[in-house]
Structures are given as C-alpha cells and as structure tokens.
Structure 1
Amino acid sequence: MTDHIPATPAPADPARHAAPRGGLLRPALWLLLIVSAAVNALVSILELPLAVGIASGLVTLGCIGALVAHHYRSRKD
C-alpha cells in the first residue's frame, strides 16, 4: 500500500471570485432611501394625504431591504 498525498490546490485568485460592487445600484438605492425617508418625514410634519406617507414608507422599506440583500450578496466570505 502506498501513501498518496494529494497535491494542494493553488490559492484562489481573489480578483476572480470577487463579486461586482454593483456599479450605480448601491448609490442609487442610498439616494432613493434618503429622498423617500425625507418625503415620509415631510408627510408627517405637513399632514399630507395618508397614501403619500404609506407609499414613501414602502419605498423606504424596499430600499432598506434591497441594500441589505445587496450587501449580503456582494460581501466576501
């Protein structure tokens, strides 16, 4: 019986496995988050129609969810 030690694989190229940063997606999501949160605050202060507040709140929540999902998809292990 012969002892066989498998060859160790070459280290992976980190640039090859790096996920794309998203280009303009992340800054666009942050901008939309800030704008929708500001609109939501203004709706509360100025007592604008409830539908506008609900819509801006849903957009804000959507941006938060998209930013969290984008972070977890693009992070390095």
Structure 2
Amino acid sequence: MKKSPPRALLWSVLVLSAAANAITSALGVNLVLSTVFGVVTLAAGIALVANYRTRH
C-alpha cells in the first residue's frame, strides 16, 4: 500500500497554491506561472479526494 502525504500538508498546499493562483491571475503575472499554480491546486484537490475515499 502506498503511503499518502498527511492531510494537513495537502490542505496547506491547496490553500497556498489557490491563493497564489488568484494573486497571479489578478495581477496579470505570466500566464505560465498562473497555470502552474492552478495545476498544483487541482492536484492537491484530487489528492485530498483520493485520500478521503481510501479512508472511508
């Protein structure tokens, strides 16, 4: 069985990357950087859902 990262870490990554994505989008920073933050946010959300589903 593969060990998943702690949920607190996943939540932290989700919140920080979502905030960074919102800030970079609002300020019109490089589109690539904003996209990277968006992908990280999406990956953290998916990991949290997967973590939830394996525990319940």
> TM-score, normalised to structure 1's length?
0.65
* Structure 1 segments (4+ residues) deviating >2 Å: none
Compute the RMSD of aligned alpha carbons: 1.2
Partner residue, 2:54: 73
Equivalent position of 1:54 in the other structure: 35
- Unpaired segments of 5 or more residues in structure 2? none
Match of 1:40 among 21, 26, 29: 21
What's 2:10 paired with? 29
- Structure 1 portions without partners, runs of 5+: 1-21
Matched residues, number: 53
- Corresponding residue SS for 1:48: coil
Structure of greater Rg: 1
Query: Which has the bigger relative contact order, CA under 8 A and spacing at least 6?
Result: 2
Alignment partners' CA distance in 2, 1:73 and 1:33: 19
More helix by share: 2
User: % of aligned pairs identical?
Assistant: 38
